[in-house]
């Protein structure tokens, strides 16, 4: 392990750190959760100034090869040059997702991964979309507050789903049980500021760590999940229960929403505390958890009546694609199917362009899905077409 005892920081870095800590000392009333939300809202406002382009794994690999002078096709080099120009002119951003990070992690050796992530740093400017679980929680919170408190009570949903490369695998923070709570909070908020946009050299050290590559094995994880969906979650075992796309969609949606009953109860607690300033009792927490089941039923009812359009998009897109796969009795889930679903869940609601595989494009742009129309997202599978369409932004 690298010896960090001799690590030094510049006077500018030290001054910035002291400034950060001084700010948090002056604002102990700001909770960790509220401060993180502030950073997310601030970042989201910046992100929405750009056209967002979601590149799936194959496009990142094409562009990585072009960036190191090894383009397979002329279209790949053209697309690389065009995106570079559009990014430099501050017209587009290409944020990555957790799925992209995990897929690209397994591609090539340390030097090739480093080339890939240098490209990501350049095209994304260190910005990523939140993890699927975080987006689901955000979407539920947005739906609840908008439904109960009104449109003016919430920021635009598309402003609330962005984070930085430091948190591409999810937001984490240290706990400090051995020190007073107010000091722990000070350190936690300061850490968010320090780690929010890490220097590229720190990312390079992380990507080059072969021991982490051995620990993280996304391919094996996806193989296990695909097998589980085929066996335990009803791809074949419950095929006789599915009579239509709508049946399959509602079953998939209900299965996902039921996992978020506690999240719904927690958000209701947060809304109550925010409005009244009072702490929710344990008895009331139990009541809110039981009532969250009714809220799930309400959401399902609205989806069943087709009165939800663009709300709860991560739930809708995932359930819809899974329903289509479920209806095909001859098709088994493959590990790449799960990545494709993750890409679509992230890209369709929150990006202006989605560059992906032809098979996925055909699935999500045709009936009964038509997600390109619902979310006003241009879905492209051909490199030449990508050059043609993105050139219109010049």
Average pLDDT over residues 134-157: 93
Contact 381, 372 (CB under 8 A): no
Determine the pLDDT at residue 218.
54
Predicted confidence (pLDDT) per residue in 162-206, tens digit: 999 989 989 987 777 888 888 889 888 988 988 887 765 566 666
Predicted confidence (pLDDT) per residue in 280-308, tens digit: 888 888 888 888 999 999 999 999 999 99
The proportion of the chain whose per-residue pLDDT surpasses 70, expressed as a percent, equals 87
Cα 203 → chain centroid: 19
pLDDT at 14 > cutoff 90:
no
Average pLDDT over residues 360-384: 96
Q: Which ranges of the chain would DSSP assign to H, the alpha helix?
A: 11-26, 32-47, 57-67, 74-88, 98-105, 110-124, 132-149, 181-195, 200-207, 210-215, 218-231, 245-257, 261-276, 282-304, 313-327, 335-350, 358-365, 371-374, 383-390
pLDDT at 127 > cutoff 70:
yes
The proportion of the chain whose per-residue pLDDT surpasses 90, expressed as a percent, equals 57
- Please report which confidence band the pLDDT of residue 85 belongs to, taking 50, 70 and 90 as the band edges: very high
- Please report which confidence band the pLDDT of residue 5 belongs to, taking 50, 70 and 90 as the band edges: very low
pLDDT at 70 > cutoff 90:
yes
Q: Which residue has the higher pLDDT, 312 or 115?
A: 312
Determine the pLDDT at residue 372.
97
Determine the pLDDT at residue 15.
82
Predicted confidence (pLDDT) per residue in 202-251, tens digit: 666 665 555 555 545 555 555 545 455 555 555 545 555 678 999 999 99
Strands 162-164 and 353-355: unpaired
Cis? peptide before 368, omega within 30° of 0: yes
Determine the pLDDT at residue 6.
43
CA distances (Å), origin 287, targets 144, 283, 339: 17, 6, 37
Which of 14-23, 212-221, 369-378 ranks highest by mean pLDDT? 369-378
Q: What does the domain layout of the chain look like in residue ranges?
A: 11-217, 236-331
- Please report which confidence band the pLDDT of residue 352 belongs to, taking 50, 70 and 90 as the band edges: very high
CA distance 160 to 267: 15
Determine the pLDDT at residue 4.
40
How is 224-241 classified by DSSP, letter by letter? HHHHHHHHTSSTTTTGGG
CA torsion sign for 103, 108, 113, 119 is negative
CA distance 20 to 302: 45
Q: Which residues pair with 54 in a beta bridge?
A: 354
Q: Is 59 exposed, middle or buried (0-12, 13-18, 19+ CB in 10 A)?
A: buried
CA distance 233 to 243: 17
Mean pLDDT of the chain: 87
pLDDT at 256 > cutoff 50:
yes
- Please report which confidence band the pLDDT of residue 109 belongs to, taking 50, 70 and 90 as the band edges: confident
pLDDT at 1 > cutoff 80:
no
Determine the pLDDT at residue 237.
53
């Amino acid at each position: 392990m690298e010896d960090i005892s001799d690590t030094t920081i510049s006077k500018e870095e030290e001054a910035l750190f002291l400034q950060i800590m001084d700010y948090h000392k002056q604002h102990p009333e700001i909770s960790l959760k509220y401060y993180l939300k502030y950073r997310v809202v601030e970042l989201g406002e910046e992100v929405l100034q750009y056209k967002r382009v979601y590149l799936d794994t194959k496009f990142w690999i094409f562009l990585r090869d072009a960036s190191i002078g090894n383009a397979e096709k002329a279209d790949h080099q053209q697309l690389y040059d065009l995106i570079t120009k559009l990014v430099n002119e501050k017209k587009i951003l290409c944020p990555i997702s957790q799925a992209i990070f995990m897929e690209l992690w397994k591609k090539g050796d340390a030097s090739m991964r480093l080339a890939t992530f240098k490209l990501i740093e350049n095209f994304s400017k260190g910005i990523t979309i939140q993890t699927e679980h975080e987006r689901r929680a955000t979407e539920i919170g947005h739906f609840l507050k908008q439904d109960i408190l009104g449109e003016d009570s919430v920021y635009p949903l598309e402003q609330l789903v962005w984070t930085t490369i430091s948190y591409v695998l999810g937001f984490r923070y240290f706990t400090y049980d051995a020190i007073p709570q107010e000091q722990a909070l000070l350190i936690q908020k300061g850490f968010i500021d320090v780690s929010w946009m890490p220097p590229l050299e720190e990312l390079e050290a992380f990507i080059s760590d072969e021991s982490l590559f051995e620990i993280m094995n996304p391919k094996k994880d996806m193989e296990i999940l695909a097998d589980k969906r085929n066996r335990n979650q009803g791809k074949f075992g419950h095929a006789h229960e599915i009579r239509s796309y709508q049946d399959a969609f509602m079953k998939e949606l209900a299965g996902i929403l039921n996992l978020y009953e506690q999240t719904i109860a927690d958000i209701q607690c947060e809304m109550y505390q925010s409005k009244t300033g009072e702490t929710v009792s344990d008895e009331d927490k139990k009541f809110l958890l039981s009532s969250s089941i009714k809220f799930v039923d309400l959401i399902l009812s609205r989806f069943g009546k087709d009165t939800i359009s663009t709300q709860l998009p991560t739930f809708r897109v995932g359930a819809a694609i899974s329903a289509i796969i479920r209806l095909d009795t001859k098709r088994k889930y493959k590990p790449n199917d799960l990545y494709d679903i993750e890409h679509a869940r992230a890209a369709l609601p929150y990006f202006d362009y989605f560059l992906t595989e032809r098979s996925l494009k055909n699935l999500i742009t045709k009936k009964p899905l038509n997600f390109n129309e619902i979310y006003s997202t241009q879905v492209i599978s051909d490199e030449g077409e990508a050059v043609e369409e993105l050139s219109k932004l010049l």
